[in-house]
Amino acid sequence: MLTTRRNAIGLSAAAMAAMTAAEQAQAQAQAITAADAPAPRLPIESGATLRMLRPVRFVQPDEDVFRANCARFTQQTGVQVRVDFVGWEDITQQTAVTANTGAGPDMIIGFNESPHVYVDKLVELTDVAEYLGRRYGGWLALAQRYGKRHGTNNWIGLPFGSSGGPLVYRKSAVNAAGYERPPEDHAGYLDLLRKLKSANKPAGFALGNAVGDGNGFANWVIWSHNGFLVNEDGSVGINSRETIEALNYLKEMYATFIPGTLSWGDVSNNRAYASNECWLTANGVSLYFALKNDPATRAIAEDTEHMLLPKGKASFSPMAGLTLNAMVFKHSRYPNAAKALLQFLLEREQYDPWLNANLGYWAHPLENYGASGVWSSDPKVAVFRDTMKSPFWIGYKGPISEASAAATAEYVMVQMCAAVASGQSTPEQAAREAERRAQRFFRRR
Amino acid sequence: MTDAAVQAAPGNSATAQPETMQWDSRARRVVMLWIPLLCFLLILLFPFYWMTVTAFKPNAELYDFRTHNPFWISSPTLDHIYKLLFETSYPRWLKTTMLVAVCSTVLSLVASTLAAYSIQRLRFKGSQYVGLAIYLAYLVPPSIQFIPLATMVHQLGLFDTPFALILTYPTFLIPFCTWLLIGYFKSIPYELEECALIDGATRLQILRRITLPLAVPGLISAGIFSFTLSWNEFIYALAFIQSSESKTVPVAILTELVTGDVYQWGALMAGSLLGSLPVAIFYSFFVDYYVSSLTGAVKE
């Protein structure tokens, strides 16, 4: 190709832009405070190669930066790293196969409680976790909950980030209903929903078997009334006065919803919100960015605001983010190399650019990353910053275990709520049935 | 039509109208035949129609049913097809899927033919029970089998290769094909084989020269069945293949085109549409054989 003067100017501008972006990312990373802490001694095995499986990207830069970080690890250590991306719904099966056959990748970044299900097959990560905690101001509450084995200080997973599902609403509609923002108390919140319904701008929350949105909403309904699935000791506690009260509240709420929420999956509220059918829902930041990036829906994005889920009777917004949780398998021939890679990826030079690339979809697990530039890049994203400070987790408030994972996978809470909303059961019947189902999981383990 | 019916039919000539029974009025035919047939067609074809329409719809129309007709496209676009073919590894996934489907189909057909023939014709002691046992194996759900199979696949060193699928798909293909072919072989007159035996033919010669040529519709039927199931299979493909480049179409389009809770419906439907074409084409070539094998078999 003949290089004209205009081309040359264009090329050098592009190169400069790329350099500037890389330099900017590095400069931003330096803004993250890091204490001097002795790194664990991890002599990398000779001839080590690594294979990792992780959930598919949210946006393309997520994958690009993640791969670039792994390539940098290869450059520095000579360890070849291969990363494969798997659909979100499919990573659980892949993890089950890997754990049960003792074959496949050396490490998997799974979701939430995965390491607790396969704890016997995993390498302990306490040394790396303690080092990172000391260096970056400590692990946040949700990270500690998902990372440590229950009742111990032994780390079996390294949380990489968490995606919250706060309220997403149309500011114009909420303002027109007479509220500056959705109220934190149950009565005020219900009043807003009723006003939105009468203005033909209804709210909608998933009541179908939706992994993220369905569980998120059902948990909010119960937790915001101080109810819970299991007690601290792991005994089932769902059939309580608080749960009945929550389900009665849900009945009133459901009457204000857009029709069809009983069959909503994770994607349904995105579509309804993007097509002006639903004006208030709960979702991750993906919905906002999908709206913002499409010229046809940019106006909706401009009118969109986020807010943590109303507290109700709880002292903290009841929300447990979907958490990325990395684990290293005992079948790996190179456990030190695997641990070194995870540690490398969570160091500020790698982690902060990755956090920025995700535009706020994943919130950091380590305190000092709260100063990351991503949280000031767009004021509408700032609400996601403290996702991992939440004192709630899936299976609250019992120990995270195979039983709590099974109860979530069987949608015990979601189906209890759906049974009441649809009129199929009274709140009392639904709570009893949920108790019976939950006892099947928690009794036998 | 039986001989009696032929005699009873008035004006049995080339120009005669199709016979109409007393009770077979036009209105009755509409109610009993055409309306149910139409409903049946609508139910069967609507998903394909929806898939096609979505594949060519721009996103603005896709997400706004208030302004745009959900059943029609105002301004069709090839963006989704372009994205699928040029921004993902779709052609490669298609090639892998084809390789896996063809190989596992051939493997299953060979094994099923031999199994069905021996069970039906050799009639060794306990052959009936073997036939029943093979069929019962078909009833074991793949979701139960995938973990033990994964262990074997790993021990054989086939994990994450197309051979993992080529060798595991026959676990559910062979039982059904064998069962189907047993039924088909049963319909082929045994006298033909007896004649061949008297003439000194061996069992393999009989199978190759007499039984198989007569059983072509049955083989095609079993082939279509195997190919379709292999093409669409999901759970083994998900469990045994982890590398992005070795995935089959049903798994790969979900991984690439569903990012979190953002579904790229246009590209997903384009992927499903293009992915269903090979099966439809394959089926259209052999539909007559397929129907005859399921309905009539060989007339004695």
pLDDT digits (tens, 9 = 90+) for B278-294: 888 888 888 777 777 66
Q: What is the dihedral of CA B197, B201, B203, B207, to 10 degrees?
A: -100
Q: Which residues of B touch A104 (CB under 8 A)?
A: 154, 159-160, 242
Under the banding of pLDDT at 50, 70 and 90, the label for residue A271 is confident
A165's CB contacts (< 8 A; 6+ apart) are A212, A213, A216, A282, A283, A284, A309, A319, A321, A322
Average pLDDT, chain B: 85
Question: Would an 8 Å CB–CB cutoff place B43 in contact with chain A?
Answer: no
Distance separating alpha carbons of residues A239 and A248, to the nearest angstrom: 13
B117 lies in the same domain as B194: yes
- Domain assignment present for residue B294? The answer is yes
Strands A280-282 vs A167-170: parallel, antiparallel or unpaired: antiparallel
CA atoms within 13 Å, Cβ hemisphere of A268: 20
Least confident window among A57-71, A360-374, B131-145: B131-145
- Domain assignment present for residue B80? The answer is no
How many separate domains does chain B show?
Answer: 2
Measured CB to CB, residues of chain A less than 8 Å from chain B are 53, 56-59, 84-90, 93-94, 96-97, 100-105, 163, 212-213, 266-267, 270-271, 274-277, 283-284, 286-287, 290, 294, 296-297, 361
Q: What is the dihedral of CA B79, B83, B86, B88, to 10 degrees?
A: -170
Across-strand partners of A323? A162
Q: What pLDDT score does A151 carry?
A: 87
ipTM: 0.72
**Residue A148, helix vs strand vs coil:** strand
Contact B66 A286 (CB under 8 A): no
B111 lies in the same domain as B232: yes
Rounded to an integer, the average pLDDT of A290-296 is 87
Task: Pick the closest to residue A366 from A38, A149, A142, A165 (CA basis).
Answer: A142
Residue of higher predicted confidence among A282 and B134 = A282
Token couple for A60? 């393309």
Minimal Cβ distance to B255: which of A87, A93, A297? A87
- Domain assignment present for residue B74? The answer is no
B246 lies in the same domain as B147: yes
Strands annotated E in A302-368: 304-307, 322-328
- Highest averaged pLDDT of the listed ranges A330-334, B67-71, B122-126, B263-267: A330-334
Residue type, A133: G
A305's CB contacts (< 8 A; 6+ apart) are A168, A169, A170, A171, A174, A181, A380
B125 lies in the same domain as B14: no
pLDDT at B132 over 90: no
Contact A284 B261 (CB under 8 A): yes
B220's CB contacts (< 8 A; 6+ apart) are B286, B289, B290, B293
Question: Would an 8 Å CB–CB cutoff place B55 in contact with chain A?
Answer: no
How far does Cα A225 stand from its chain's mean position? Answer: 22
pLDDT in tens, A78-129: 999 999 998 887 888 889 888 988 888 999 999 999 999 999 999 999 999 9
Residue of higher predicted confidence among A412 and B142 = A412
- Mutation pick from B57, B61, B63, B265 vs chain A, by most beta carbons of A within 10 Å, is B63
Strands annotated E in chain B: 258-259, 262-263
Across-strand partners of A328? A107
Q: What percent of chain B has pLDDT over 70?
A: 89
Task: Pick the closest to residue B268 from B256, B260, B285, B282 (CA basis).
Answer: B256
Residue type, A42: L
Q: Which residues of B touch A284 (CB under 8 A)?
A: 260-261
Q: Using only C-alpha atoms, what is the Rg of chain A?
A: 23
Average pLDDT, chain A: 91
B172 lies in the same domain as B27: no
User: H or E stretch including A50?
Assistant: strand A49-55
Token couple for B214? 């007569």
Rounded to an integer, the average pLDDT of A16-43 is 76
pLDDT at B102 over 90: yes
Q: How far apart are the first and last CA of chain B?
A: 16
State the CB neighbour count (10 A cutoff) for residue B88.
Answer: 18
A125's CB contacts (< 8 A; 6+ apart) are A147, A155, A156, A157, A158, A327, A328, A339, A342
Q: Which residues of B touch A91 (CB under 8 A)?
A: none
**Buried b or exposed e, range A114-135, using 16+ CB within 10 angstroms:** bbbbbbebbbbbbebbebbbeb
Under the banding of pLDDT at 50, 70 and 90, the label for residue B5 is very low
Q: What pLDDT score does A57 carry?
A: 86
Residue type, A374: V
Q: Which residues of A touch B146 (CB under 8 A)?
A: 97
Token couple for A438? 């939950």
Q: Which residues of A touch B252 (CB under 8 A)?
A: none
Minimal Cβ distance to A85: which of B150, B239, B255? B255
B159 lies in the same domain as B278: yes
Distance separating alpha carbons of residues A99 and A112, to the nearest angstrom: 16
Distance separating alpha carbons of residues A323 and A353, to the nearest angstrom: 19
Q: Which residues of A touch B237 (CB under 8 A)?
A: none
pLDDT at B227 over 80: yes
B102's CB contacts (< 8 A; 6+ apart) are B227
- Mutation pick from A84, A98, A277, A279 vs chain B, by most beta carbons of B within 10 Å, is A84
- Domain assignment present for residue B271? The answer is yes
- Domain assignment present for residue B27? The answer is yes
Sign of the four-CA dihedral A58, A64, A65, A66: positive
User: H or E stretch including B170?
Assistant: helix B170-186
Distance separating alpha carbons of residues A305 and A312, to the nearest angstrom: 20
Contact A101 B154 (CB under 8 A): yes
Strands A107-111 vs A322-328: parallel, antiparallel or unpaired: antiparallel
CA closest to A87 among chain B residues: B255
B34 lies in the same domain as B110: no
B28 lies in the same domain as B147: no
- Domain assignment present for residue B55? The answer is no
User: H or E stretch including A402?
Assistant: helix A402-409
Question: Would an 8 Å CB–CB cutoff place B64 in contact with chain A?
Answer: yes
CATH code: domain of residue B188: 1.10.3720.10
Measured at the alpha carbon of residue A123, what is the angle toward residues A121 and A124, in degrees to the nearest 5?
125
Rounded to an integer, the average pLDDT of A396-423 is 93
B37 lies in the same domain as B108: no
Q: What pLDDT score does A444 carry?
A: 55
pLDDT in tens, A41-61: 999 999 999 999 999 888 889
Distance separating alpha carbons of residues A357 and A68, to the nearest angstrom: 12
B272 lies in the same domain as B156: yes
Gap from B105 CA to chain A (nearest CA, Å): 25
Q: Which domain holds residue B6?
A: 1-44
Contact B258 A88 (CB under 8 A): yes
Minimal Cβ distance to B261: which of A90, A267, A294? A267
B268 lies in the same domain as B185: yes
User: H or E stretch including B290?
Assistant: helix B265-295
Cβ atoms of A123 and A335 closer than 8 Å: yes
User: H or E stretch including A160?
Assistant: strand A158-163
Strand ranges of the sheet holding A80-86, from the earlier edge strand across to the other edge: A80-86, A49-55, A107-111, A322-328, A158-163
Q: Using only C-alpha atoms, what is the Rg of chain B?
A: 25
Across-strand partners of A139? A366
Distance separating alpha carbons of residues B247 and B161, to the nearest angstrom: 9
Q: Which residues of A touch B61 (CB under 8 A)?
A: none
Under the banding of pLDDT at 50, 70 and 90, the label for residue B243 is confident
Cα–Cα separations (whole angstroms), residue A289 to A52, A59, A142, A378: 28, 10, 25, 11
Question: Would an 8 Å CB–CB cutoff place B87 in contact with chain A?
Answer: no
How far does Cα A288 stand from its chain's mean position? Answer: 16
Cβ atoms of A215 and A413 closer than 8 Å: yes
Cβ atoms of B240 and B202 closer than 8 Å: no
Q: Which residues of A touch B244 (CB under 8 A)?
A: 84-85
- Domain assignment present for residue B62? The answer is no
Gap from A269 CA to chain B (nearest CA, Å): 10
CA closest to A361 among chain B residues: B260
- Domain assignment present for residue B71? The answer is no
Q: What percent of chain B has pLDDT over 90?
A: 36
Q: Taking a contact as any Cβ pair under 8 Å apart, which residues of chain B between 231 and 260 contact chain A?
A: 235, 238-240, 242-244, 251, 254-256, 258-260
Distance separating alpha carbons of residues A51 and A53, to the nearest angstrom: 7
pLDDT at B82 over 50: yes
Residue of higher predicted confidence among B1 and B111 = B111
**Residue A305, helix vs strand vs coil:** strand
pLDDT at A166 over 70: yes
A206's CB contacts (< 8 A; 6+ apart) are A213, A214, A216, A217, A261, A264, A265, A266, A268, A269
Rounded to an integer, the average pLDDT of A389-396 is 93
Token couple for B292? 């005859």
Task: Pick the closest to residue B244 from A84, A109, A94 (CA basis).
Answer: A84
Q: Which residues of A touch B256 (CB under 8 A)?
A: 56
Least confident window among A310-324, B19-33, B114-128: B19-33
pLDDT at A13 over 70: no
B136 lies in the same domain as B218: yes
Q: Which residues of B touch A361 (CB under 8 A)?
A: 260
* Helices and strands, number each (H, E), in chain B: 17, 2
Q: What pLDDT score does B17 carry?
A: 56
**What's this model's pTM, rounded to 2 decimal places?**
0.81
Task: Pick the closest to residue A364 from A343, A346, A349, A378 (CA basis).
Answer: A346
